[in-house]
Amino acid sequence: MWFCKLNGALKGASKTGTKTILARRPITSLVPGEPNEPKILTDVPGPVSKALFEKLNSINQSGSVQLFANYDKSIGNYLIDVDNNVFLDAFTQISSVPIGYNHPDLLTVFQDDHKLRALINRPATGVFPGHDWPEKLRSILLNVSPGLPQVMTMMCGSCSNENAYKALFFSYRNRQRGENVDFTELESSSCMINRPPGAPQLSLLSFHGAFHGRTMATLATTHSKPIHKLDVPSFNWPIAHFPRYKYPLEDNTRENHAEDDKCLEEVEDLIVQYGKNENPVAGIVVEPIQSEGGDNEESPRFFQGIQQIAKRHGVGLLIDEVQTGVGATGKMWCHEHFNLESPPDIVTFSKKMLTGGFFHSLDMRPKQPYRIFNTWLGDPGKLYLLEAVLNVIKQQNLLDQVLRTGSKLKLGIATIEKEHPDLLNSTRGRGTFLAVNAADTELRDKIVAKLKLKGVIVGSCGDHSIRLRPSLTFQEHHADILLDKLQQTINEVK
């Protein structure tokens, strides 16, 4: 269906009464074989999903499961469930599917025997890497590094951040020691009983609304929802306020600059305060756009200020690009929008990168082996998939596609917001990494649920935000469908 009630705001539209009809045109998808539109045949979840849920829930706590997917049938931007319902997926496994389901270029990767063996014979790469491991890291990962010369591979976003935090602490302590890099006997013995000086009193500064993971240290820097943190012991680490902007941005420049200044002042005050309290800050940990916490975006000006504060106080700067990385904002890395005077000290990644890890400066490189280590340290098989993904991004100019589709989506959502300001507000984001607020949590949840019943999957975050996380192959005709379904949904809930 090719229409959307946007009062002529979308290019190429012609009005018929109160309905704007988009000109019909052939659909040419970047992923061949996609359906043309969503198709819902049953309740959601359907009977097969419900039966499978009962089986799964008898084995583990499965309350987060929404439906069961058929990944053999799913293709491109369409997720097909076990009840044969066809969904336009604008959430993509929590922002982790880079170029759509079952992309033909990925389906052929392991037809190469060498790559298949790399998948089967998964090595402990920190001890027994394959002969081509150095070249893989250089040609695949460092090829997309945001200006940082070193890379460490990991499995997921949480362990990427967790180990990057250790690098921040190691680097800070190395600077304190100066030329003497040997550990004292007291340091070696005291760390074994979790006491200083071997286990020093240090902290990391994070932000209200942040999400960095669910392991122990990352959970200490996560402040998005209580359910993640309840009953888990944590650290006395500083938490600063992340700016909350007024929208539209172009109409509130003065107020938003004042918000930046207030938050930057708090960051610097906390670093000074924790230093005086003998719990010095070793690093600042920040997302370019706070994702789980409500898609809170920030200005280049704010991030330039954060970097200046970090350098002024001799603390590391870690930018968490687990969710924002790999093109979703129209650049490979979201922080590249900020025109920083130099790369951050560490950039963590996962999700659309298909493997976890972090890029880092030479200063963040441990001086001894085994300090950042686990059995697998990533997966060579995932790098082959990532290599194919990066080739598709380049060949199909997907970063430009993201900007085109994102512009259409953002304009369309903003237009619906203007028509219904009592229901929606604060349309925001970069590229297709977009969000809009509902008036309250109940309305947000109702909109997300109704969209799913219409065959469109979107996400939620924060207290009342609706977020979009489509793949990089999400095109203008997909945007038309999403906007049409959103308009229908808003008309039903108003």
Catalytic residue, chosen from 351, 352, 408, 452, is: 351
Type of residue numbered 13: A
**Three-class DSSP category at 317:** strand
- Rounded to whole angstroms, the Cα distance separating 304 from 317 reads 11
Angle at 413 between CA 492 and CA 40, to 5 degrees: 50
Task: Classify the C-alpha dihedral 85-88-90-92 as positive or negative.
Answer: positive
Helix (H) or strand (E) holding 319: strand 316-320
Backbone angles phi, psi at 349, to 5 degrees: -145, 160
How long is the chain? Answer: 494
Helix (H) or strand (E) holding 455: none
Identify whether 351 is a catalytic site residue: yes
- Rounded to whole angstroms, the Cα distance separating 481 from 4 reads 8
Q: Which residue has the tokens 């993904």?
A: 389
Show Cβ contacts of residue 173 under 8 Å, excluding neighbours closer than 6 positions.
200, 202, 282
Q: Which residue has the tokens 């902007």?
A: 245
Identify whether 320 is a catalytic site residue: yes
- Rounded to whole angstroms, the Cα distance separating 349 from 360 reads 11
Q: Which residues pair with 7 in a beta bridge?
A: none
Identify whether 452 is a catalytic site residue: no
- Rounded to whole angstroms, the Cα distance separating 217 from 434 reads 28
- Structural tokens at position 282: 């070793």
Catalytic residue, chosen from 68, 91, 211, 358, is: 211
Backbone angles phi, psi at 388, to 5 degrees: -65, -40
Type of residue numbered 455: G
Catalytic residue, chosen from 83, 89, 320, 484, is: 320
Q: With beta carbons less than 8 A apart as the criterion, state whether 94 and 459 touch.
A: yes
Backbone angles phi, psi at 465, to 5 degrees: -100, 145
* Cα→Cα distances 197→5, 167, 191, 231, 365, Å: 65, 17, 7, 28, 21
Catalytic residue, chosen from 375, 394, 440, 494, is: 375
Show Cβ contacts of residue 197 under 8 Å, excluding neighbours closer than 6 positions.
184, 186, 187, 190
- Rounded to whole angstroms, the Cα distance separating 308 from 314 reads 10
- Rounded to whole angstroms, the Cα distance separating 357 from 159 reads 8
Indicate the DSSP class of residue 39.
B
The residues carrying an active-site annotation are 211, 320, 351, 375
